Amino acid sequence: MGSITLDHVNKSFGVHQVIPDASLEVADGEFVVFVGPSGCGKSTLLRLIAGLEDVTSGVIRLNGEDVTEKGPAHRGLAMVFQSYALYPHMSVRDNIAFPLKMAKLDKAAIDGKVAEAARILNLNDYLDRKPRALSGGQRQRVAIGRAIVREPKAFLFDEPLSNLDAALRVNMRLEITELHQQLKTTMVYVTHDQVEAMTMADRIVVLNAGNIEQFGTPMELYRNPANRFVAGFIGSPKMNFVDGAEAQKHGAFAIGVRPEHISVSTTEGLWKAKVTVAEHLGSDTFLHVAVDGLGTMTVRAEGEKLLNHGDPIWLTPDPARIYRFDKDGRAVAAH
Amino acid sequence: MATKQAQTIAKWALIPSVATLAAWAFIPLALTFYFAFLRYNLQDPDNTGWAGLSNFYYFFKDPFFLKDLINTLMLVVGVIVTTVVGGTFLALLLDQPFWGRGIVRLMVISPFFIMPTVSSLVWKNLIMHPVFGLFAEIQRVFGFAPLDWFGRLPLFSVGVIVSWQWLPYASLILLTALQSLDEEQKDAASMDGANPLNYFRFIVLPHLARPITVVILIETIFILNVFAEIKVTSVGGFAGNLTYLVFSQLNDANDVGMAAAGGLVAVVLANFVSAFLVRLVGRNLEN
Amino acid sequence: MARRQSTRRTLLLTLLGWTLGILLFFPIFWTLVASLKTESDAYTLPQNFLTTPWTLENFGIVQERSDYVRYVVNTGLIVILSTALALVLAVPAAWSLAFAPVDKPTSRLNGWTWLAIMLSAAGACFIVLYVNDWKVSNFFIGLALLLLVVIPATIWVWTRNTPGTLLWMLSTKMMPPAGALIPIYLIFNRNGLVFRDWGVFDLREFNLMDSLWGMVPLMTMLNLPIFIWMLFTYFKEIPLAILEAARMDGALFWNELTRVLMPMALPGIASTCLLNLILTWNEAFWSLNLTNKYAAPLSFFISEYSSPEGQFWAKLSAASVMAITPILIIGWFSQKQLVRGLTFGAVK
C-alpha cells in the first residue's frame, strides 16, 4: 500500500531547473535509495515526494492516488531528517506521541503505540529525557520512532547517517535494514554514500544534476552500468578510465575497468606501470600506479603482496570485464 | 522556498498586521491632509470650508515657527553629537576591565529607562532649580550666583535632559558592537606595532561606523518628536519645537486647520531629514 | 582579555568608570533621597542630606491624595492589553515573513504604476472635496473617500516582497506623531465636523478619549513594527526543518504555531514583550494628549506635578520612585533585548 510514482516531474527554482524530467516507480515494500554527488537533486526529489516542495509540473502518485496538490500533512508519509529535527522542548515520549496527537488518537491508543515504538527501537530508558540529553545515535532512533509510530505508507530518509561517526553509521545501517525487513514498508533513502546505497537498497536511483542516470538493483548497476557516470560512481575504489589510442584498440571512445578486475604481476602483463602509493589494508592492498602512456590507475592486489613506492609492476585487465563507452559516455555492448 | 500552500497561509497571516499598520499609516495622514486645507477652529466649529493655503501661510507667519523649527534641528543635532561622542567614550571605557564594571554599566544605562515626565520634572526641580536645586547649591559652594537654567537657557536645559536619557542608549549599542570586535584583531594590531590612537582610528572606528549610523537614525526618529520634556517643563513658549508648536495650535489656539498644516510640515521635515541621513550614511545602512 | 593589564591602569579606569557612573546615576539617586525626606526638608537638600530625618510618609501621602494605585492599574492594563493584542497580530505576521518569505513583489504592476494609481486616487478625492467646499457632509462619502486612499495603499503593501514589507513597517514607526495628532485627537474627542452627522451613527456616542478602548489599540499600533521586527529576527533563528517535521507529522498551521513554534521561540517572545512593556510604560506623547483621569497612566500622573500648588518635591519624588522602579529593574535585565529591538536587528 505504499507504491510511489513520479510522472514527468519537473522542478525549477526560478529559472534554475533542478530536476528536468523525472519519472520512476517505486513498488510497495521496496527499499529504494537515491544516490548521487552533492547538488544532484536527490534531496529535492525526496522533498517533492514528501510535499515539502511544490512540483513545477508533473504528477506524484501514492498508491495510484494523485497527491501532487496535497500538503505534507495529508500524504500519510513519514520523514527522518538529516538533523533529526526533534522537538527540543518535548520529551522523547512526547516527540514520538506528537504525530498521534495530530491524528487525534485517544490517550490509550497513543500510549500503546509509543510503547511499541520504544520497544522496537530500544528507547525505553530514555522516554522522559529531552533531546539535548541524548547522543546522536539515540536522537536518530527517536526520529525513527516518531516516523514508525504513524504507520505511514512509506518512510523517507534524508541522509540520516551523515551526522554520525563511522562505527555508529555501520550499526545504524544494519538497524535500518532490519527495520525494513521487519515492517516491510516502502522506504526511500537519500545518501551520497554509495556504500550505503549498495548495502541497503533493493533498487538504486543514481542521480546526476537532476537527471536519473540509472534505476536498477545494486548488482545491475555494478555489472551493467548504463553510462560512464554510473560506472564511475558505483564501486569503491572508482573504476579506472582510459581514453585515446588504447581505448580505440578495444573499439570504443573510452574504456573502463574496475580495480578489482586487473591482475598484477611483477614479471609480465599488458601494461607496464610504476607504483606511486601502496595502501595496505591487511585484507586488500590498493596500489595507485602510474601506467606508461595511460595515466594513473588504482589496482587491487592481494593483501599479502608487499609492493612499495617506486616498484615496477605489470597490469593485465580481465578482457571480459572491460567496459566500453562511446563519446557521449553511454555504455556500448556490455559484456 | 515555501510551498504554495504555505505561501497562501502566510499571506492571510500577514493581513491583520498589514491592515492595522496601513490604517495607522495612511488614515491619520490622509485626515491631517484634509484638515490642513480646512478652515476650522474649535471655538467656532460651524464656520468651516475650504481654506486654500491660508493655514500654511499663517503657520509659517507665526512668530514662533522659525524659532521652533531651528530649535527642533538644534535639539536633534546637539543631542546626537553629545550622545554619540559621549557614548563612544563610555563604550570604550566599559569595554576595559576594571573593578565593579558590571555595576557601573547598570548605572550608566539607567537613565534610559526613566520615563520622560519623571526625568523632566526631576531635572527641572530637584537639580536645576535656581534656589533649592542641586546645581544652585554647587554654584554657591564655588562662589557663583546660581543660574536659572530653565529661565535663561531653556533649550539647553531641555537638551541636557534629552541627552541624559539617550546617552545610555548610544553607550549600550556601541558597547555591544565593540564587544563583537574580534579579540584577535587587537592582538594582530599590537603585533603590527599600532599604538592605541592608531588602533582606535583604523580598527575601532570603522567597526563602529555601522552601529553609529543606526544610533543616529534611531535617535533622530525619536528626538525630532520630543514632546514631554518640553511640555512638562513649561518651556514651550521659549524653547518649543515643531511638535510642540503643532500641539499648542491645537490646545491653546484651538485652531485645527493650522495645527494640521503644522503637522504636515512636521511630516515633510521628518522625511527630509531621514532622506538626508540615508543619503549621507547610505552605504553603512543594513537596509 | 588576552593580557593582564597593570594595576595602575585598572585603578585609573576604576576611578574614571565609577565617577562617570555615579554622575550619570545621580539624578535617580537624588530622587530616591528626596522621596525619603519630609516636604520641607526636601527643599533644604543637599546641605542637610544627612542631618534631616528619613521618612516613608510621602509614599502614603501620594496614595491618599491622588489614588496612586489607580494610575498603576491603568498603566498595567494598557501595557498588558496592548502587548497581548500586539502578540496576536505579530506572531502570525512574523511567522509569515520568516518562514514563507517572498523574494519578488507579487503584483504585476510596478512601482511607478502604483504611484500613479495612488496619486490619481488622491487627486480624485481632492477634486471631489474641493467641489464640495471641502466639507464631508455624509458618512458614505467620507467612507468612500477614505477607502479610495486606503485600499490601493493596502494592496500595494500586501504585494510587496518580504524585505519591502519589513522596511515599510519600519517606516510607519518613523512617522512623526505631530502628523497624526490632529485626527487622532479629534476622533478620540468625539469631535464632530467630519464625524458628526453621519446619519447612520453618531460618533459622539463612542467614547475613546481618556479611555482604555482608545489607548490600548493606539499603543498596539505604535509598537507593532518593533514587535514584528523583533519576533522576525528571533523566528529566523529557528531551524525550518523542525517546522517541516511538524508538517510531516500532520500539524496544520494552528498546531504548528502553538505547539511547536511558540514553545521553541518562547525566550524570544518574552524578550519582545519585555521591550514592549518598557516602551509602553514610558510612553509620553499620546498619554499626555489623550488621557486625563480615567485612563491616565503613570506618565500622565507625574506630569500633573508640573504646576502644582505649594511644596511638592518630596511627593513628586515619591511618586516618581514608585513609577520608575519596576521599569528600571526590568531594564537592567533586558539590555540585550533593548539592543536587538531598538536597532531593528542591525546590531546583535
Q: What is the pLDDT of residues B43-69, one digit of tens each?
A: 777 777 777 888 888 888 888 899 899
First to last CA, chain C: 21
State percent of chain C over pLDDT 70.
88
Residue of C nearest to B185 (CA): C2
- C134, B127: Cβ pair inside 8 Å? no
What pLDDT score does B3 carry?
80
Query: Which residues of chain B approach chain A closer than 8 Å at the C-beta?
Result: 1, 3-5
Q: In chain C, which among 44-63 make CB contacts under 8 A with chain B?
A: 44-47
Min distance C346 CA to chain A CA atoms (Å):
28
Q: What is the CATH number of the domain that holds A90?
A: 3.40.50.300
- C248, A102: Cβ pair inside 8 Å? no
**Residues of chain A below pLDDT 70:** 304-305, 334-335
What pLDDT score does C204 carry?
60
Confidence at B285, pLDDT banded by 50, 70, 90? very low
Instruction: Provide the residue range defining the domain that includes A164.
Output: 4-231
* A223 and A313 share one domain: no
Assigned domain for B180 exists: yes
Assigned domain for B21 exists: no
* A80 and A100 share one domain: yes
Residue B286 has pLDDT above 60, yes or no: no
Residue C14 has pLDDT above 50, yes or no: yes
Nearest to A50 by CA among A147, A130, A121, A124: A147
Burial class (CB in 10 A: 0-12, 13-18, 19+), A254: buried
Min distance B4 CA to chain A CA atoms (Å):
7
* A40 and A185 share one domain: yes
Confidence at C106, pLDDT banded by 50, 70, 90? low
**Between residues B269 and C133, the one the model is more confident about:** B269
Assigned domain for B53 exists: yes
What pLDDT score does B152 carry?
85
Neighbours of chain C (3+ CB pairs under 8 A): A, B
The number of domains in chain A is 2
* A303 and A284 share one domain: yes
* A285, three cell numbers: 592492498
Assigned domain for C211 exists: yes
For residue C260, list chain A residues with Cβ-Cβ distance below 8 A.
Answer: 87
SS3 assignment, position A256 = strand
* C1 and C61 share one domain: yes
* A250 and A165 share one domain: no
End position of a domain, from candidates A177, A202, A231 = A231
Count CB atoms within 10 A of the CB of residue A4: 23
* C13 and C60 share one domain: yes
Confidence at C205, pLDDT banded by 50, 70, 90? low
Instruction: Provide the residue range defining the domain that includes B264.
Output: 45-284
Substitution target in C151, C165, C181 with the highest count of B β-carbons within 10 Å is C181
Rounded CA gap, A24 and A207, in Å? 12
Neighbours of chain B (3+ CB pairs under 8 A): A, C
ipTM: 0.86
Is the pTM above the cut of 0.90? no
Assigned domain for B166 exists: yes
Q: What is the CATH number of the domain that holds B224?
A: 1.10.3720.10
CA distances from A31 to A188, A212, B18 (A): 6, 17, 48
Assigned domain for C165 exists: no
* C218 and C85 share one domain: yes
Query: Which residues of chain A approach chain B closer than 8 Å at the C-beta?
Result: 13, 51-54, 71
What pLDDT score does C193 carry?
52
End position of a domain, from candidates A210, A231, A252 = A231
Confidence at C200, pLDDT banded by 50, 70, 90? low
Give the mean pLDDT of C172-184: 87
* C128 and C52 share one domain: no
Assigned domain for B14 exists: no
Residue of B nearest to C13 (CA): B98
The number of domains in chain B is 1
* C297 and C180 share one domain: yes
The number of domains in chain C is 3
What pLDDT score does C48 carry?
75
Instruction: Provide the residue range defining the domain that includes C253.
Output: 68-102+176-306
State percent of chain B over pLDDT 90.
29
What pLDDT score does B210 carry?
83
For residue B96, list chain C residues with Cβ-Cβ distance below 8 A.
Answer: 5, 13
* C116 and C196 share one domain: no
Q: What is the CATH number of the domain that holds C293?
A: 1.10.3720.10
- C182, B264: Cβ pair inside 8 Å? no
* C86 and C13 share one domain: no
* C89 and C190 share one domain: yes
* C229 and C299 share one domain: yes
- A102, C260: Cβ pair inside 8 Å? no
Residue C3 has pLDDT above 70, yes or no: no
Substitution target in C161, C240, C249 with the highest count of A β-carbons within 10 Å is C249
What pLDDT score does B174 carry?
93
Rounded CA gap, B110 and B107, in Å? 5
Residue of B nearest to C217 (CA): B20
When mean pLDDT is compared over B255-264, B274-283, C101-110, C134-143, the highest value belongs to B255-264
Could you write out the DSSP letters of every residue in A149-213?
TT--SEEEEESTTTTS-HHHHHHHHHHHHHHHHHH--EEEEEES-HHHHHHH-SEEEEEETTEEE
Residue of C nearest to A154 (CA): C248
Assigned domain for C167 exists: no
* A153 and chain C in contact, CB less than 8 A: no
**Between residues C273 and C119, the one the model is more confident about:** C273
**Between residues C20 and A310, the one the model is more confident about:** C20
What pLDDT score does B287 carry?
40
Q: What integer best gives the mean pLDDT of chain C? A: 83
* A287 and A171 share one domain: no
* C273 and C241 share one domain: yes
* A246 and A326 share one domain: yes
Q: What is the CATH number of the domain that holds A247?
A: 2.40.50.140
What pLDDT score does C1 carry?
46
What pLDDT score does A158 carry?
94
* A139 and A155 share one domain: yes
- B4, A54: Cβ pair inside 8 Å? yes
- C250, A87: Cβ pair inside 8 Å? no
